[in-house]
């Protein structure tokens, strides 16, 4: 397996501190504390042999949980402090981005890191910020229910994704889609470009300006450092439709579904769909699995640590967005209980001693032989010394036995 350390990131604080210092997201001292932790975690993860480190993209989180603003800027800082580990956006919410700006910024970070960037994209599910930053497309957070609102979010996502890839792979582009056009205005081109004759027609891309000096095509620079573009991931995949779309596009899906039979079915769907598009893969190849890990001297100690940290975060926060549906058992029709116990029983939360966690990873390998394991890590939810201890135990006593 390859290993990805997934961090939200989170401003370090207890729940009591979050209430006392509200809104802690605007507390500069605590934000600096978070940056210091992330820098040390990136360096330690590299030393321990992790292949990648990733974060989400979210905005306006006054509570300090998932304070993952401007992830590309963060990776630039972390990459400058490391040498080998890759950084992945899980994910940039495309319905809130301009397609050409995201193509540019990813190409730049791909150059700055000389290929140590993995481009991950998501549709966005949080209305509080997706509605605001996606207003130019009249898009809202995806409710994942197949409704008209959900379909509109998906349509915008797929269009931005397609335009971005076109900008990476073609020397210049000219296109008109439902939500976007290049150039603008599309029909007549951009008329006010006074250096067309003596500058762009001589030094620019072929066909960028016409004989009348109007801009008819746009050349997006730079092209990515990685040919033809960085690897692409998609986080929190839970539906077969999404899994199959990823397979058609050559994208690595990070699957949150954890109950072994349901997880295997999605891996099989990915393999089968990839084969239909000319990619012959083994079961689990080009697939990532998200899991949490909490290690103690006893099973009870590891379980308690998980319940107090990620368990509490999922119950108080992620459950409200429907994340516990990822732990639904096949055939189960009643509401999924919002309990840490269910997270453990569904094989999402791996807890206990080093040997307990090893047995869970062995079972995961046997079930689907995944290429990527993603540790949904509790930065900001544990005391700093415990954070480092968890990383060091996993990195020295568990990771070496499973790493490719």
386-398 confidence digits (pLDDT tens): 999 999 999 999 9
Q: Are 277 and 325 in contact (CB under 8 A)?
A: no
pLDDT digits (tens, 9 = 90+) for 356-387: 999 999 999 999 999 999 999 999 999 999 99
pLDDT digits (tens, 9 = 90+) for 80-109: 999 999 999 999 999 999 999 999 999 999
Residues 335-350, mean pLDDT to the nearest whole number? 98
| Residue 300 belongs to some domain of the structure | yes
pLDDT at 237 over 90: no
pLDDT at 383: 96
| Residue 191 belongs to some domain of the structure | no
pLDDT at 17: 97
Strand pairing report for 86-89 and 117-122: parallel
Residues 271-282, mean pLDDT to the nearest whole number? 97
d(CA 5, CA 7): 6
| Residue 130 belongs to some domain of the structure | no
Q: Are 8 and 26 in contact (CB under 8 A)?
A: no
The greatest distance separating any two alpha carbons of the chain, rounded to the nearest whole angstrom, comes to 77
| Residue 178 belongs to some domain of the structure | no
Percent above pLDDT 70 for the chain:
100
| Residue 343 belongs to some domain of the structure | yes
What residues make up the domain containing 55? 1-83+241-404
| Residue 3 belongs to some domain of the structure | yes
Look up the CATH number of the domain holding residue 270. 3.20.20.30
Structural domains counted in the chain: 1
Residues 322-328, mean pLDDT to the nearest whole number? 95
Confidence of residue 144 (pLDDT cuts 50, 70, 90): confident
Rounded to a whole number, what is the distance in angstroms from the first to the last CA of the chain? Answer: 5
Q: What is the DSSP letter of 330?
A: T
| 177-212 burial code (b ≥16 CB/10 A, e <16) | eeebebbeeeeebbeebeebeeebbeebbeebbeee
d(CA 357, CA 352): 6
Q: What is the DSSP letter of 171?
A: S
| Residue 47 belongs to some domain of the structure | yes
| Residue 380 belongs to some domain of the structure | yes
pLDDT at 345: 98
């Amino acid at each position: 397996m390859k290993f990805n350390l997934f961090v939200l990131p989170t401003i370090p604080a207890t729940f009591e501190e979050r209430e006392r210092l509200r809104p802690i997201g605007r507390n500069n001292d605590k934000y600096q504390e978070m940056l210091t932790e992330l820098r040390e975690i990136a360096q330690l993860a590299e030393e321990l042999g992790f292949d990648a480190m990733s974060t989400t993209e979210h905005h306006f989180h006054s509570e300090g949980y998932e304070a993952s603003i401007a992830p590309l800027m963060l990776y630039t800082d972390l990459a400058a402090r490391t040498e080998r580990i890759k950084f992945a956006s899980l994910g940039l919410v495309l319905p809130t981005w301009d397609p050409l700006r995201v193509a540019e910024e990813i190409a730049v970070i791909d150059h700055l890191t000389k290929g140590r960037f993995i481009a991950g994209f998501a549709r966005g599910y949080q209305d509080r910020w997706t509605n605001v930053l996606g207003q130019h497309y009249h898009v809202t957070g995806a409710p994942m229910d197949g409704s008209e609102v959900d379909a509109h979010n998906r349509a915008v996502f797929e269009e931005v994704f397609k335009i971005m890839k076109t900008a990476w792979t073609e020397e210049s582009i000219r296109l008109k889609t439902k939500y976007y056009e290049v150039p603008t205005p599309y029909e007549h081109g951009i008329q006010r470009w006074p250096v067309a004759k003596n500058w762009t027609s001589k030094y620019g891309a072929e066909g960028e300006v016409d004989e009348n000096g109007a801009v008819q095509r746009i050349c997006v620079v730079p092209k990515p450092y990685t040919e033809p573009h960085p690897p692409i991931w998609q986080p929190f995949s839970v539906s077969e439709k999404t899994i199959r779309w990823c397979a058609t596009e050559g994208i690595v899906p990070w699957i949150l579904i954890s109950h072994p039979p349901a997880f295997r079915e999605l891996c099989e769907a990915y393999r089968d769909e990839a084969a239909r598009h000319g990619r012959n893969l083994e079961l689990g190849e080009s697939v990532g699995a998200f899991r949490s890990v909490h290690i103690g001297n006893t099973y009870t100690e590891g379980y308690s640590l998980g319940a107090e940290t990620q368990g509490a975060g999922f119950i108080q926060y992620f459950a409200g967005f429907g994340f516990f549906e990822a732990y639904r058992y096949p055939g189960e029709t009643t509401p999924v209980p919002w309990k840490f116990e269910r997270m453990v029983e569904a094989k999402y939360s791996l807890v206990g001693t080093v040997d307990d966690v090893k047995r869970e990873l062995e079972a995961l390998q046997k079930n689907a032989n995944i290429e990527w394991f993603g540790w949904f890590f509790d930065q900001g939810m544990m005391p700093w010394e415990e954070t480092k201890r968890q990383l060091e135990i996993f990195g020295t006593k568990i990771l070496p036995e499973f790493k490719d």
